[in-house]
Amino acid sequence: MSMTEALDRFLQSLGPAGPVRLLCVGDVMIDRYVYGHVARISPEAPIPVVKYARETAMPGAAANVARNAAAMGAQVTLLAPVGEDSEANEFEALLSATEGLRPALVRHAEASTIIKTRFVAGGQQVMRLDREGTPENWTGSVRALVSALGAETGEVRAVLVSDYAKGAITAELMSAVIAAARKSGALVIVDPKVADWSLYGEADLIKPNAAELAQATGLPTGTDEEVAAALRHAGERFPARRVLVTRADKGMSYIAEDGAVRHHRGKPVEVFDVSGAGDTSLAAIGLALAHRADLATVAAFATLASRIAVTKRGTAVVSLDEIRAGLGIRSTNRAGDYNLESVRRQVQAWRAEGLKVGFTNGCFDILHVGHLKVIEEARARCDRLVVGLNSDTSVKRLKGPTRPVNPEGDRARMMAGLGAVDAVVLFAEDTPIDLIRALEPDLLVKGGDYNPETIVGYDETVARGGEVHIVALEEGRSTTSTIERLQKT
């Protein structure tokens, strides 16, 4: 059986017996993104002036691990410390938007909730502002975390420990985690931050990246051979633990059950943002191990999930549907309901997850490469893409009595079948302005030779801090020219 077939079988097995329960423990923070435009340099100092457009916030670090695990179908409890402040209230409210995630937060008056604010202009980060204390600020919260462990580990299959070296993960806490997990039969999987892995006790699996493996072993990790040597050294130094090292575009490496070092490669993708990709891989590894998958399947599953995460901007969440789609398994309900109210609810759910929603529209009567260029370029600039599709009556008014060639049901199914499309919505009006007002997309995309200000929905989108993007059409590619060529044959 090929690895693709094994992974396909594993993905198909998820869900029928009910979701597994996972516990996430570790440092948490708010990841805030402030978006704007840079048009000039400050006269006060040689720095860019960012004109504010909009901002988003999402739970990060261990909270992002929990969100990813929930999006992959697990029932997740997040046990973590926060401050006794208004930001902790915001953090808890952000968590409430994730179905399947239950927060068990410990409030601590001696520390402030951690916030990382990234300022983004032109698709690039221009500055990051961190508000955090020192690990010692969280010392008083550790006892409360230890006290809460017993009530949270009873039915969990795995405990995911996310160490960001902010103070939550201590030897005392790890000792309690290991003891509670052994009592309940749960596995302990750690994403490490410190070089001395003795901090993590007898965890079942350590998931360092290549740099962290090099730090822990004192060995280089640039090549397959170097990674293999470092893995074997780690196995000798920490014999009670398995090690699965993540290597960015080189995939993952591990010592298999038969003692051989194996390397799992991921397919190359265009990387937009690596923020949170390690969180996604920890969630995927935890879910797969909770289902008692072997390390080959674990590595393949986590590599695929991470590959999807880096194609997104910001602290990203990867769903089980996206992983299945990445393997060529399409969800049966993806983009299958074409009415506005259904799509509006879906857009609200995406936005609650902190996802950027894009919108484009058209008749899409006979699909051609020009259409595909617009769709793919639009999807590359957002996390989810909604396509507004003119109904048959709308097309007749716009294009004449002989159009459309294909009825709206067929056109909608064809459009929904494209991998870059996440939802399709039909509209009977001549323009999609009502859709745009109802869906409030973060990105509006149109194909053609337009001035941005003349595009329907430009004013509404820009007023909300969204962006408008124009895709240059492929010359000589249009439905009208296709029909004319067919009529001449």
Reported as a single tens digit per residue, the pLDDT across 25-47 is 999 999 999 989 898 999 999 99
Q: Which residues contact 100 (CB under 8 A, 6 or more apart)?
A: 19, 70, 71, 73, 74, 75, 76
Same domain flag for 321 and 344: no
Same domain flag for 133 and 266: yes
Same domain flag for 294 and 350: no
- Of 279, 383, 422, 442, the active-site residue reads 279
In a domain, 331, yes or no: no
Same domain flag for 234 and 367: no
State which H helix or E strand residue 141 sits in: helix 139-152
Under 8 Å between Cβ of 389 and 343:
no
Which phi-psi region, left, alpha or beta, contains residue 378 (left: φ > 0; alpha: ψ -120 to 50)? Answer: alpha
Two tokens, residue 99: 């179905």
Please return the burial class of 202, using the count of CB atoms within 10 Å of its CB with bins 0-12, 13-18 and 19+.
middle
Under 8 Å between Cβ of 83 and 28:
no
In a domain, 448, yes or no: yes
The yes-or-no verdict on residue 216 having pLDDT over 50 is yes
Confidence label for 335 from pLDDT (cuts 50, 70 and 90): very low
Same domain flag for 264 and 154: yes
Confidence label for 97 from pLDDT (cuts 50, 70 and 90): confident
The yes-or-no verdict on residue 15 having pLDDT over 80 is no
In a domain, 335, yes or no: no
pLDDT, position 330: 47
pLDDT, position 379: 92
Long-range contacts formed by 151-156: CB under 8 A, 24+ apart:
152/23, 152/77, 152/79, 152/104, 153/23, 153/180, 153/181, 153/183, 153/184, 153/186, 154/184, 155/21, 155/184, 156/21, 156/22, 156/23, 156/77, 156/184, 156/186
The three-state secondary structure class of 346 is helix
Boundary (domain end) residue, out of 326, 349, 368: 326
In a domain, 333, yes or no: no
In a domain, 332, yes or no: no
Give me the CATH number covering residue 427: 3.40.50.620
In a domain, 334, yes or no: no
Same domain flag for 322 and 365: no
Two tokens, residue 295: 């390390």
Q: What's the rounded Cα separation, in Å, for the pair 357 and 347? A: 7
Instruction: For the beta carbon of residue 163, count every other beta carbon within 10 angstroms.
Output: 23
In a domain, 433, yes or no: yes
Which of 21-25, 129-133, 317-321, 426-430 tops mean pLDDT? Answer: 21-25
Q: How many helices (H) and strands (E) does the chain have?
A: 17, 18
Under 8 Å between Cβ of 119 and 252:
no
Boundary (domain end) residue, out of 326, 352, 386: 326
Distances from the Cα of 319 to the Cα of 158, 282, 343, angstroms: 19, 14, 18
Under 8 Å between Cβ of 25 and 162:
yes
Boundary (domain end) residue, out of 273, 300, 326: 326
Same domain flag for 190 and 276: yes
Same domain flag for 31 and 172: yes
What's the predicted TM-score (pTM) here? Answer: 0.71
Is the model more confident about 274 or about 77? 77
Same domain flag for 292 and 357: no
Q: What's the rounded Cα separation, in Å, for the pair 197 and 14? A: 32
The yes-or-no verdict on residue 329 having pLDDT over 70 is no
Q: How many residues are there in the chain?
A: 489
Q: Which residues contact 292 (CB under 8 A, 6 or more apart)?
A: none
Same domain flag for 350 and 316: no
Q: What's the rounded Cα separation, in Å, for the pair 131 and 145? A: 22
The three-state secondary structure class of 158 is strand
Is the model more confident about 123 or about 319? 319
What order do you get walking across the sheet with 423-427 strand by strand?
423-427, 384-390, 357-362, 443-447, 467-471
pLDDT, position 6: 75
Of 117, 14, 88, 2, nearest in space to 323 by CA? 14
Q: Which residues contact 111 (CB under 8 A, 6 or more apart)?
A: 81, 83, 133, 137, 138, 141, 167
Task: Give the residue numbers spanning the domain of 127.
Answer: 3-326
Amino acid at the residue 320: L
Q: How many CA atoms, within 13 angstroms, populate the side-chain half-sphere of residue 279?
A: 30
Is the model more confident about 334 or about 304? 304
Same domain flag for 227 and 271: yes
Does the active-site annotation cover 392? no
Instruction: Give me the number of domains the chain comprises.
Output: 2
- b/e per residue 140-157 (b: at least 16 CB within 10 A): ebbeebbebbeebbeebb
Please write the tens of the pLDDT for every residue from 390-415.
Answer: 999 999 998 888 888 889 888 998 88
Same domain flag for 396 and 311: no
In a domain, 72, yes or no: yes
- b/e per residue 317-348 (b: at least 16 CB within 10 A): bbbbbbbbbbeeeeeeebbebbeeeebbebbe
Give me the CATH number covering residue 219: 3.40.1190.20
Of 86, 128, 63, nearest in space to 353 by CA? 63
Of 117, 131, 132, nearest in space to 36 by CA? 117
Pairing assessment for the beta strands 75-83 and 101-108 based on DSSP bridges: parallel
What DSSP letter does each residue of 295-310 carry, written as one string?
A: HHHHHHHHHHHHHHHT
